[in-house]
Amino acid sequence: MIMASEDPLSSSRAVVDYMEKNGVREFFIKPDVVEKALAEHGLLVPLSEPEPEDKSASTQPEEGRGMQPGGTPYCDEAGEGLSEITETTVGGGGRDEKTVFVGEKGVGADDVDTADTQVDTNSTEPDRGVGGNTGSGRPPVIDPLDGFDIPPDLSDGFEARRLTPEIEVLMDVTDRIESSGSVEYFRKYFSDRYKKLRALVRKHQGYSGNTSVVDVERMQPGDEIRVVAIIKDIKVTDRGTRIVELEDEFGTAKAIIPSNSPLTSLPLVNDEVIGVSITRSPGRGSLIIKEVVFPDIPARKQEADDRKPDRRVYVAFVSDVHVGSDTFLPGAWARFVGFLRGVGVKNGKKEIAENLKYLVVSGDLVDGIGVYPNQEKELVIHDIESQYRALAKIFRRVPDHVEVLMLPGNHDMVRQAEPQPAFSDPIKEIFVEEGLNIHFLSNPTLVSIEGVKILAYHGRSMDDFLGLVPGLSYENPIEAMKIMLQKRHLAPVYGGKTPIAPEPVDHLVIETIPDIFVTGHVHSVGVDRYRGVLLVNSSTWQSQTSFQKMHNFNPIPARVPVVNLQTLEHEILDFSR
């Protein structure tokens, strides 16, 4: 008896590789295509027990760091070695540098060598490549805020402390993930995507019919038809003409967008669902795309009264904390904590501090292990459990009246394939041990806070959009978020930079229109509106990394967008200095 590998990410990559190598792009995938792909990659295997996990790797602390003049190591009160690092904040006032000392040793007796650690992107379980082996022993606890003056909590009189939280989870995929990488799941995944988005496109005038792309070939010169299809492939000729191959459940057809058409500026990408109006030209009889309709969201008023809370309350948005990295900014985080505690609040921000009830954290809570080559050289905490324990330490300083909602990102200890489930119980237990009551959610997730619907997504698919759509940049991620809403899909490109598991249901379709759409990932910050939806890109708590420096990218760290849920007015607070 044989079956496809139970690893959906490796299976999906095998299929994508096979299809690209053999010139196959079919979204309503035929079984023989998938079976040949899995067999070629050795993923059609006898039904058997999985091999035991190799837990032999270990992490050694980097030599030569954390030394006093003369070679004596700095130590904490327990005698553990500390590393000397420079905390650098890049802001409008220039660079602010401070020397701090943090724990270097992570795993204790279970230290492992991570010099050749690579990301194990093939696992559906919490990634040991990204996460490392937590082992059975308890690593030394490292507190990134040790040595920083954490102000006393003066929030006892805050109005937010007297408010009962109103949180309802509307969509969380954690208990709905069931991908096995089987042939049937590939077919179900694209079929579900197509049917959901086709229904949205059919709401547009002229697209309510059942015309198929196979009807295109029977068109006579001068005829015009409208169809809803998946973009199977896009090619651009030397003269700038786009050749768009369309597919639905009945077949495929090719049509062109001439180089002089205004449609050439549209952000079309493979695998998205669109509506098109096609005509056959006289003479040569070419099939010409005259109109493109996206699923999109309808324009609506931002001020809809039915979703306003009847009380003044604020939500703050942060992301990409990256605890464990030597570029994490503990000083900036300490200033943020001070604000939440009501200490040193200036410039008319007292109202925000006193009424801030919710904090949404959009992924990449820790830096992880083996996420990118030579990452170990930029870590001050070298095992994943210690990174999450350090993360719990810094969130312990957040006043307990603030409700924290936390979802994972691509650096976190969950599967790399999207959608990502919430953190596993061992990670949650770390926060429980610190006395924290965190709301752990999936990536993506949809929640209602005080009646305001918030769609939270880490934002990894921006890597695909920014590479495929001219004019987009990491400095302005809001534009990519607008395109996601326009396409009603968080990550339409399959087989690109964003790994996607072939679930029987496409959980990345934006079925419910949110009031607020928030992302992180790109280490920038921004707020804007699109058709009545407030768009928020959350900032990072990490200064410029060597990778960012190599690509001449300057992050914008330690900024916190806050939103008044009663009015949806917003402000960006600066804790970088």
Question: Per-residue pLDDT for 98 more than 50?
Answer: no
Nearest Cα neighbor of 277 from 289, 266, 267 is 289
pLDDT in tens, 476-493: 999 999 999 999 999 999
The token pair that represents 43 in the structure block: 């993923």
- Bridge partners, 124 (sequence order): none
Give the Cα separation of 531 and 483 in Å (integer).
12
Q: Which amino acid is at 182?
A: S
Chain position carrying tokens 């400095």: 475
Question: Per-residue pLDDT for 15 more than 70?
Answer: no
Question: Per-residue pLDDT for 118 more than 80?
Answer: no
Q: Which of 77-81, 115-119, 551-555 has the lowest mean pLDDT?
A: 115-119
Q: Which of 77-81, 178-182, 192-196, 290-294 has the lowest mean pLDDT?
A: 77-81
Instruction: Mention every residue, 6+ apart, whose C-beta is less than 8 A from residue 399.
Output: 153, 155, 158, 161, 340, 341
pLDDT in tens, 372-399: 888 999 999 999 999 999 999 999 999 9
- 121, with CB counted inside 10 A (0-12, 13-18, 19+), is middle
Question: Per-residue pLDDT for 191 more than 70?
Answer: yes
Which has the higher per-residue pLDDT, 134 or 501? 501
Q: What is the mean pLDDT of the chain?
A: 81
Domains along the chain?
2-46 (no CATH), 202-293 (2.40.50.140)
Write down the pLDDT at residue 78.
38
Write down the pLDDT at residue 251.
94
Rg (CA), the chain: 25
| pTM metric for this prediction | 0.78
Nearest Cα neighbor of 213 from 242, 245, 188, 187 is 245
Average pLDDT score over residue span 104-119: 31
Write down the pLDDT at residue 491.
98
pLDDT in tens, 464-476: 999 999 999 999 9
Give the Cα separation of 211 and 190 in Å (integer).
19
Determine what percent of the chain is predicted with pLDDT higher than 70: 74
Model confidence at 176, pLDDT cuts 50, 70, 90, reads very high
Write down the pLDDT at residue 47.
38
Q: Which of 48-62, 156-170, 186-200, 497-511 has the lowest mean pLDDT?
A: 48-62
Question: Per-residue pLDDT for 337 more than 60?
Answer: yes
Write down the pLDDT at residue 71.
36
The token pair that represents 33 in the structure block: 């295509």
Q: How far is CA 486 from the centre of its chain?
A: 18
Question: Per-residue pLDDT for 340 more than 60?
Answer: yes
Average pLDDT score over residue span 260-270: 96
- Bridge partners, 291 (sequence order): 277
Which has the higher per-residue pLDDT, 186 or 292? 292
Give the Cα separation of 182 and 20 in Å (integer).
19
- Bridge partners, 360 (sequence order): 317, 405
Question: Per-residue pLDDT for 59 more than 60?
Answer: no
Distances (CA, A) of 453 to 201, 303, 456, 513, 563: 23, 13, 10, 8, 13
Helix axes 330-340, 384-396, angle to 10 degrees: 30
Average pLDDT score over residue span 545-566: 93
Q: Which of 149-153, 227-231, 250-254, 275-279 has the lowest mean pLDDT?
A: 149-153
Q: Which of 79-93, 225-239, 433-447, 491-505 has the lowest mean pLDDT?
A: 79-93
Which has the higher per-residue pLDDT, 200 or 116? 200
Question: Per-residue pLDDT for 274 more than 50?
Answer: yes
Residues in the chain: 577
The token pair that represents 562 in the structure block: 């806050």
Ramachandran quadrant class, 285 (left: phi over 0; alpha: psi -120 to 50; beta: rest): left
310: number of Cβ within 10 Å:
8
Instruction: Using DSSP bridges, classify how beta strands 526-530 and 533-537 pair: parallel, antiparallel or unpaired.
Output: antiparallel
Q: HEC string of 430-481?
A: HHHHCCCCCEECCECEEEEECCEEEEECCCCCHHHHHHHCCCCCCCCCHHHH
Write down the pLDDT at residue 373.
86
- 202, with CB counted inside 10 A (0-12, 13-18, 19+), is middle
* Contact between 202 and 352 (Cβ < 8 Å): no
Q: How far is CA 200 from the centre of its chain?
A: 24
Write down the pLDDT at residue 106.
31
Reduce the DSSP state of residue 386 to 3 states and report it: helix
Question: Per-residue pLDDT for 307 more than 90?
Answer: no
Give the Cα separation of 371 and 328 in Å (integer).
16
Give the Cα separation of 28 and 391 in Å (integer).
43
Please give the backbone phi and psi of residue 218, each rounded to the nearest 5 degrees, phi first: -90, 5
Nearest Cα neighbor of 87 from 319, 327, 324 is 327
Instruction: Using DSSP bridges, classify how beta strands 445-449 and 452-456 pair: parallel, antiparallel or unpaired.
Output: antiparallel
Q: Where are the alpha helices (DSSP H) in 469-513?
A: 478-487
Average pLDDT score over residue span 314-324: 98
The token pair that represents 47 in the structure block: 């039904």
